[in-house]
Amino acid sequence: MKKILINIAFIFLTASCIKISDNQDIPKADFTIGGGVLLVNEGNFRSGNGSLSFYSYDSLKIINDLFTSANNRPLGDVPNAVLVKEDKVFIVVNNSGKIEVVDHITCATSATISGLISPRNMAFINDSKAYVTSLYSDSLAILNVPNNSISGYINLHRTSESIAVYGTEAFVANWAGGKEVMVVNTLNDNVVDSIEVGMEPESMAIDHERRLWVLCNGGWARQAPAELVVINIATHRIEKKFIFPSKVSSPTCLHIDGMGQTLFYIDNGVKQMDIYATNLPVPPLVPQESGYNFYKIAVNPVNSDIFISDAGNYTQPGNLLIYKNNGSFVSKSTVGIIPGAMSFKLRVNTQTK
């Protein structure tokens, strides 16, 4: 009988003073934490009080202020994305115009990539190259990953937000005021196509059928109904569109599970949708209860646990809410101000018994 055992990777975090969710401090020590999720707290705009938190699957606790504890300085102004790449963690800090490259063991900065214009999101093309999107620049920045440096730019003639990579193509959403997904050949860094979608495409996901799902929120002023657009990656053609019933709807933060089968997004709670569904879901899988302000979500690629950041009133520390994939509540922990993007640190091992 075969039994698959899923083990979460371990992360060693060493800091002079590590804060956990009950606000107790742990003296300087090698603090070993099991696998879990890294979370960036955006902080208040122009206050420079962004921070890094970690939820441990071992201790089932949140450890806050990791970057500050390891580096004796704040993370910066509005960290917007966090990505794990082997033994490094890349933190994109939007208003500070930089990317902090930190060691996955110590959380100490090994490099700071500066000179970026309002960086938003980042995607690895291969082990040596990555693309960085921008809210205010009309170009994608190309990163030399081994050298932690900017090696060039790709002129999109428009700003960019989310990015998804499949094979030798990168799909880049023109979010602020836009309605296109640009297609970039990652071999020669050239724009090869553009696909018109709904108003303001803000997040994307790729399913196991090689289709790109694009969530368009309809514009900041709700100029148009929100749309969920499905694009055939091979042909760049739109296969179908789901139109949200009201301009009041403002869906955000599209994600997909590790099987590429089930979509999740925020829309008055967290909605769940199979990729073969013929209609948009109506009742939420996780309702947004009174007093909560769902801001970002992430889905564990191994067990489909749903992590939800609750931004609260945007000025005080928020919460990290965790639910099982059936919508049942697991836990609530206090994190930093405006908890946002998340990234999982995982390793899957299989054993035969």
pLDDT (tens digit per residue) in 6-50: 332 333 333 333 455 544 444 332 333 558 899 999 999 989 999
Element (H, E) at 337: strand 329-337
More confident residue, 6 or 127: 127
pLDDT of residue 194: 98
The residue type at 252:
T
Residue 348 has pLDDT above 50, yes or no: no
Mean pLDDT of the chain: 89
pLDDT of residue 214: 98
Domains 1-114+289-353 and 118-284 share a fold: yes
Which homologous superfamily does the CATH classification assign to the domain defined by 118-284? YVTN repeat-like/Quinoprotein amine dehydrogenase (2.130.10.10)
pLDDT of residue 34: 59
pLDDT tens-digit series, residues 230-285: 999 999 999 999 999 988 888 999 999 999 999 999 999 999 999 999 999 999 99
Closest to 124 measured CA to CA, from 136, 137, 142: 142
Cα radius of gyration (the chain) = 20
pLDDT tens-digit series, residues 168-224: 999 999 998 899 999 999 999 999 999 999 999 999 999 999 999 999 999 888 889
pLDDT of residue 2: 35
| For the chain, percent of residues with pLDDT exceeding 70 | 88
| For the chain, percent of residues with pLDDT exceeding 90 | 78
d(CA 183, CA 169): 7
Residue 1 has pLDDT above 70, yes or no: no
d(CA 95, CA 117): 8
CATH of span 1-114+289-353: 2.130.10.10
Residue 91 has pLDDT above 70, yes or no: yes
Q: How far is CA 34 from the centre of its chain?
A: 21
SS3 29: strand
pLDDT of residue 28: 30
Give me the residue label for tokens 């371990």: 10
d(CA 239, CA 196): 13
Q: How far is CA 48 from the centre of its chain?
A: 20
User: Residue 3 — very low, low, confident or very high, per pLDDT cuts 50/70/90?
Assistant: very low
Q: How far is CA 37 from the centre of its chain?
A: 11
Q: Return the domain boundaries, the chain.
A: 1-114+289-353, 118-284
